[in-house]
Amino acid sequence: MISELFTATVLIGILASGIRLATPYLYAAIGETFGQRSGVLNLGVEGQMLLGAFAAFYVSLMTGNLWLGILAAAFVGALMGLGMAYVTVNLQAEQGISGIGFYLFGLGLSDLLFQKLMGSVQTVKGFPKLVIPGLTNIPVLGEIFFNHNILVYGAYLLVPLAWFVLNKTTLGLKIRSVGENPEAADSLGISVAGVRYFTIILGGTLSGIAGASLSTALLNVFQQNMTSGLGFIAVALVYFGGWRPWGVLGGALLFSLINSLQLWIQVLNIPIPSDIAIMMPYILTILVLVLTVSRVRAPSALTKPFTRSE
């Protein structure tokens, strides 16, 4: 019953799994943040994640080496990013639509490879929990924050790193200027195309890893369309977070905690229909978008291709 939600074990469970569930969103959304800050909307995240999830799973299954799996996922994601970069930067194709194309491509190809190479759902022994001496043992807090596998920690480390790169380095300045005013950036000798290639490929790489985190660290299986909309949510979280890594973190945590709550509601047999419970994070995200979006301005050049005027 409802009161069962408020016991210490359940609350700790909700928080801990909320933190864990945010992992794929963080990788994908931080990657997407880089792309969007440089002016490119990549809607193909979901497809990159699916291919990454498959690559990581299959390589891990074949070689028994999870890190080779991650490497494969990153590589596949980067390749998809390269394709997206060529299409949106060189051919100046409409970004939203080409993203949908890459999504469908990843959806179909990952399914095709799954059916051809594996045939049936298998499981892999995913990344083990990583005990951090001195931290994992702390009562309550240790269980909530420091009882996860290495990919979870990696996702959270990515946030300050992304913040630092975007705000405190020359590279970050270049990325932001290309996203805000590509003409000015170009006149200062910054290669708009080069910066965008970099951010889109980086985004693809991180999306690939996001998929890998699903198939080899959180769920440890691969299934057709296993991301079921997760990549699109990641794109939404970038808007939600106002194109800032810390904001993205807030959004990912909020979304995942609500998700974790609804999973626990189902586990505890609380009489809320599970279908309705699953809706909650989506409805909440829309509501928060409505309440916050007008505060933050999108990068000025977002979705606008850059042509050098002669």
Considering the complex, state which of residue 154 and residue 251 has its C-beta at the smaller distance from another protein: 251
101 binds another protein (CB under 8 A): yes
35 binds another protein (CB under 8 A): no
Q: Mapping DSSP to helix (H, G, I), strand (E, B) and coil, where does residue 123 land?
A: strand
Alpha carbon dihedral 85, 79, 51, 245, in 10-degree steps, equals -60
- Site residue total, another protein (CB under 8 A): 47
The runs of H, that is alpha helices, within 181-297 are: 182-187, 192-213, 230-240, 245-267, 274-292
Burial classification of residue 114, based on how many CB atoms lie within 10 Å of its CB (0-12 exposed, 13-18 middle, 19 or more buried): buried
98 binds another protein (CB under 8 A): yes
Cα distances (Å, whole numbers) of residue 138 to 6, 33, 156, 192: 21, 34, 19, 48
142 binds another protein (CB under 8 A): no
Stretch that binds another protein, among 59-67, 108-116, 126-134, 211-219 (CB under 8 A): 108-116
Stretch that binds another protein, among 14-22, 91-99, 149-157, 205-213 (CB under 8 A): 91-99
Q: CA–CA separation, 244 vs 169, rounded Å?
A: 15
Name which position in 1, 91, 133, 170 contacts another protein (CB under 8 A).
91
Binding flags for another protein, 271-290, as an x/- string (CB under 8 A):
--x-xx-xx--xx-xx--xx
Task: In angstroms, give the least distance from the CB of 103 to another protein.
Answer: 7
Instruction: Please choose, from the candidates 115, 106, 63, the residue with its C-alpha nearest in 3D space to the C-alpha of residue 81.
Output: 106
Contact 306, 186 (CB under 8 A): yes
Name which position in 22, 29, 85, 107 contacts another protein (CB under 8 A).
107
Name which position in 2, 7, 64, 97 contacts another protein (CB under 8 A).
97
User: Burial code of 36-50, b = ≥16 C-beta within 10 A, e = fewer?
Assistant: bbbbbbbbbbbbbbb
300 binds another protein (CB under 8 A): no
Both structure tokens of 43: 């809607």
Q: Mapping DSSP to helix (H, G, I), strand (E, B) and coil, where does residue 115 land?
A: helix
Task: In angstroms, give the least distance from the CB of 255 to another protein.
Answer: 11
In degrees, to the nearest 5, what angle opens at C-alpha 250 toward C-alphas 247 and 251? 90
184 binds another protein (CB under 8 A): no
Considering the complex, state which of residue 8 and residue 290 has its C-beta at the smaller distance from another protein: 290
Considering the complex, state which of residue 97 and residue 138 has its C-beta at the smaller distance from another protein: 97
Binding flags for another protein, 231-260, as an x/- string (CB under 8 A):
-xx-xx--x---------------------
Name which position in 5, 16, 94, 186 contacts another protein (CB under 8 A).
94
293 binds another protein (CB under 8 A): yes
The distance of Cα 32 from the centroid of its chain, to the nearest Å, equals: 8
Q: CA–CA separation, 302 vs 149, rounded Å?
A: 35
Residues forming contacts to another protein in the complex (CB under 8 A) are: 43, 47, 83, 87, 91-94, 96-98, 100-109, 111-112, 115-116, 224-225, 228-229, 232-233, 235-236, 239, 273, 275-276, 278-279, 282-283, 285-286, 289-290, 293-294
